Amino acid sequence: MKLDVDVLRYLSKDDFRVLTAVEMGMRNHEIVPSELIDRIASLKHGGTYKVLKNLLKHKLLHHDSSKYDGFRLTYLGYDFLAIKTMVNRGIFTGVGRQIGVGKESDIFEVVKEDGTVLAMKLHRLGRVSFRAVKSKRDYLKHRSSYNWLYLSRLAALKEFAFMKALEEHGFPVPNAVDCNRHCVVMSLVRGYPLVQVKQLQNPDVVFETILSLVVRMAEHGLIHCDFNEFNIMIDDDEKITMIDFPQMVSVSHRNAKMYFDRDVECIFKFFRKRYNLSFQENEDESDDSEVDSDEECRPQFSEINKVSGFLDKELAASGFTGKDQEDIERFIVEDVEEDSDSDAEGTEDEEYNADSTNESNIKDFDSVCSLKKEEDNTPDCGDRQIEHQAVEKDRHFERDDNPEDESSQAGCDHDSEADEQIEDPELMKRLTKQRQRAIQAARGRKKSSTSRTKYSDKGGRSSYKSKVQKQMSSW
């Protein structure tokens, strides 16, 4: 997968406006009807069709005309919205190379104005366990906000909140810098995942340190749930940093003991195999055997003095609620439970790679898009100039020299996201009605191709326009 940030430089304000309009529409539409996008974006000189086409070309949107003519964001589109926000907040100015690919994330280096390098994690929930997510759709059916944007955003918010709380309690974790949408920015860990380290100077000490972390976390009321050699970083001085927190659970979780024992077992198993640690007397390891020689030194969940809810305050302060935890547990934690070593099978990453699909997508869009006719008469958007012509390339980092936003506060500010904006129940009702009408119109199929998605809405435009303008004014 490639995150081509060059494209970001060439996107105009109108491009971002339309992209944001799609995001807002996705609050209650899996596929956002074109006419709704047009209305939300309400570009001064029209021209939504052209902008949509441009966004489609860059794979920031996906066109879908199966039920009605509409669009959804791709991962890339969502990435750009988050990156743009981070840049506007002054969190970083450029995106560098990719440094990690997780099961459900991509990690990049990003650079601040002063040259400091940070790590940016983009959550991609559903990439691996998409089938599992699908099978769990029913649970969130009643939620208008269900979709992968929501889940990935939740994963990022949770990771950010837990990382911050753990950091405040002195755990060796990256410094949590900021979070927006599905994106978490944190300090860069100088080191390697333990899985890559063939030899250690002091394997016993490292083993003890790691094991004590599992115990200390449990004492603070938490279990990592994916505590293994992939999520433990180690540097040249054999200093440990834990990463990857979206699947953490409380010690009061119904399966807490199982998760705790599994985390502990992962550590024992790895050190036994990789570093031949002495607690293992028997070369012939029967993994499932309960009567291990290391039984004696194994921390027991029941013997830990656990303080449940200890970190709750910190978590809530970061905006992560019990309800969020409930939602995400159904997707992440249970996946970990069922499928702890899934590979990249069933990847949903095609949007980044399939050029041919994209081309046919654009053609398809040309023939169907209901906005085209109307806009053929509108003046070309002369002010849609490329804003960042002055491309300045540094050897490693491509800078976005457009820090046009005023807000620079850190912290997980998910309130500013577009999909948080439509909170007016009246408006929600109207949007839902509109959608139903659109589906009905599409089912009727008696319209000409230009009005195949008859998506009429009488009134209401101005009421949500003001809300939309508020959001848009930040671009």
Nearest CB to ligand ADP, comparing residues 228 and 434: 228
Closest CA to 18 of 65, 55, 64: 55
Measured CA angle at 152 (ends 19, 195), to 5 deg? 130
Task: Provide the residue type at 84 as one letter.
Answer: K
Any contact of residue 126 with ligand ADP (CB under 6 A)?
no
Active-site annotation holder among 38, 226, 263, 400: 226
Distance CA(219)–CA(446), nearest Å, equals 65
Q: Does 222 bind ligand ADP (CB under 6 A)?
A: no
**Minimal distance, residue 402 CB to ligand ADP, in Å:** 26
Cβ proximity to Mg ion, 25 vs 102, nearer residue: 102
User: Which residue of 23, 38, 104, 375 would you call a contact of ligand ADP, by CB under 6 A?
Assistant: 104
Which part of the chain contacts ligand ADP (CB under 6 A), choosing from 183-191, 198-206, 276-284, 436-444? 183-191
244 part of the interface to Mg ion, by CB under 5 A:
yes
Sheet with 70-73, edge to edge strand ranges: 32-33, 70-73, 61-64
Per-residue exposure over 71-80, b if at least 16 CB sit within 10 Å of its own CB, e if not: bbbbbbbbbb
Known catalytic membership, residue 14 = no
Question: According to the binding rule CB under 6 A, does residue 105 interact with ligand ADP?
Answer: yes
At closest approach, how far in Å is the CB of 311 from ligand ADP?
19
Stretch that binds ligand ADP, among 18-26, 95-103, 144-152, 206-214 (CB under 6 A): 95-103
Q: Any contact of residue 160 with ligand ADP (CB under 6 A)? A: no
Largest Cα span, the chain: 81
Distance (Å, rounded) from C-alpha 214 to C-alpha 259? 11
Pairing of strands 411-412, 240-242: unpaired
Place of tokens 């809300």: 467
Least separation in angstroms between residue 104's CB and ligand ADP is 5
Both tokens of 10, joined, read 């060439």
Q: How many Å from the N-terminal Cα to the C-terminal Cα in the chain?
A: 27
- CA distance linking residue 418 with residue 357, whole number of Å: 28
Residue 43: what are its φ and ψ, rounded to 5°? -65, 140
Based on the shown chain and the rule CB under 6 A, indicate whether residue 102 belongs to the binding site for ligand ADP: yes
Task: Work out what residue 76 binds among ligand ADP, Mg ion, none; the CB cut-off runs from 5 to 8 Å by kind.
Answer: none
Say whether residue 240 binds ligand ADP (CB under 6 A): no
| CB of 224 vs ligand ADP, minimal distance in Å | 11
SS3 category, 97: strand
Q: Binders of ligand ADP: how many residues, by CB under 6 A?
A: 18
Stretch that binds Mg ion, among 36-44, 228-236, 333-341, 396-404 (CB under 5 A): 228-236
CB of 248 to Mg ion, least distance (A): 12
Closest contact distance (angstroms) between CB of 384 and Mg ion is 41
174 sits near ligand ADP (criterion: CB under 6 A): yes
Residue 257 tokens read as: 């003991």
C-alpha span between 381 and 371 (Å, rounded): 15
> Which stretch in 134-142, 182-190, 238-246, 319-327 sits in contact with Mg ion by CB under 5 A?
238-246
Quickly list DSSP for 178-242: EEETTEEEEEPP-SEEGGG----S-HHHHHHHHHHHHHHHHHTTEE-SS-STTSEEE-TT--EEE
Determine the Cα–Cα distance for residues 454 and 452; give it in Å rounded to an integer: 6
Question: Which of ligand ADP, Mg ion, none has residue 193 at its interface (CB below 5 to 8 Å by kind)?
Answer: ligand ADP
The stretch near ligand ADP (CB under 6 A) out of 182-190, 204-212, 262-270, 359-367 is: 182-190
- Kindly state the smallest distance separating residue 259's Cβ from ligand ADP, in Å: 16
- Whether 221 contacts 310, CB under 8 Å: yes
- Please identify which residue in the block is written with the tokens 């906005």: 371
Return the one option of ligand ADP, Mg ion, none that residue 421 interacts with (CB less than 5 to 8 A, by type): none
Residue 353: what are its φ and ψ, rounded to 5°?
A: -105, -35
Residue nearest to ligand ADP (CB): 102
Which one of 1, 7, 107, 258 is in contact with ligand ADP (CB under 6 A)?
Answer: 107
Residues classed as catalytic: 226
List residues binding ligand ADP (CB under 6 A): 99-100, 102-105, 107, 119, 121, 174, 186, 188-189, 193, 230-231, 243-244
List residues binding Mg ion (CB under 5 A): 102, 230-231, 244
